[in-house]
Amino acid sequence: MRLSFRIKHHFFSAFREFFVHHHGSLEFRAKIFALVISANEEAKVENFIVVKDIAMNIYNGDTDRANLLMISTKELVQKVRDNNGLNIDNLISTILHELKIVPRYAKKIDIKALKPLTLLTHDEDTLSYQNNILEFLQATKDEILNIK
């Protein structure tokens, strides 16, 4: 990575809330992606490439926002892997809490978009775990959108 990119990344990471339009929405999506990716302990770079591809569709080709979503997702997955105050249970709890505060975020849960992340999983147990997470997310989305 170029030094200028790394400096820009660290600066934006520190002040992301101020400089990124709809920061909360982007962070919520990052948590959803990180939840599915973190379920696979052997997640690879390909997972983040898929996240960027999905983000390019979500943000209509906005490379900066797609990169920011990918980087935010990567940071969350790294925190889970390092056991740095975040684990899958905390991530689920945070997602549920944010959905209670901002129910419209439920519309951002797109199971079809998340499904390609499971295609990169080769272990049957991990795949089953990821599919259970997707079912949970779909049920949560349905429950919140039906409450409204």
Least Cα distance to 98 among 50, 30, 47 occurs for: 30
pLDDT at 44: 87
Task: Report yes or no on 88 lying in a domain.
Answer: yes
User: What is the average per-residue pLDDT within 89-105?
Assistant: 93
pLDDT at 21: 45
Which phi-psi region, left, alpha or beta, contains residue 60 (left: φ > 0; alpha: ψ -120 to 50)? left
Q: How far apart are the C-alpha atoms of 66 and 56, rounded to whole Å? A: 5
For the chain, the domain total comes to 1
pLDDT at 43: 80
**By the 8 A CB rule, do 75 and 114 touch?**
no
Residue 22's pLDDT band (boundaries 50, 70, 90)?
very low
Query: Is a pLDDT exceeding 60 seen at residue 16?
Result: no
pLDDT tens digits for 107-143?
999 999 999 999 999 899 999 999 999 999 999 999 9
Task: Report yes or no on 94 lying in a domain.
Answer: yes
Task: Report yes or no on 102 lying in a domain.
Answer: yes
Task: Report yes or no on 13 lying in a domain.
Answer: no
Q: What domain range includes position 79?
A: 26-147
Task: Report yes or no on 2 lying in a domain.
Answer: no
Task: Report yes or no on 3 lying in a domain.
Answer: no
Task: Report yes or no on 86 lying in a domain.
Answer: yes
pLDDT tens digits for 39-55?
998 888 999 999 999 99
Measured at the CA of 20, the angle between CA 16 and CA 21, to 5 degrees, comes to: 150
Query: Is a pLDDT exceeding 70 seen at residue 20?
Result: no
Task: Report yes or no on 75 lying in a domain.
Answer: yes
pTM of the model: 0.83
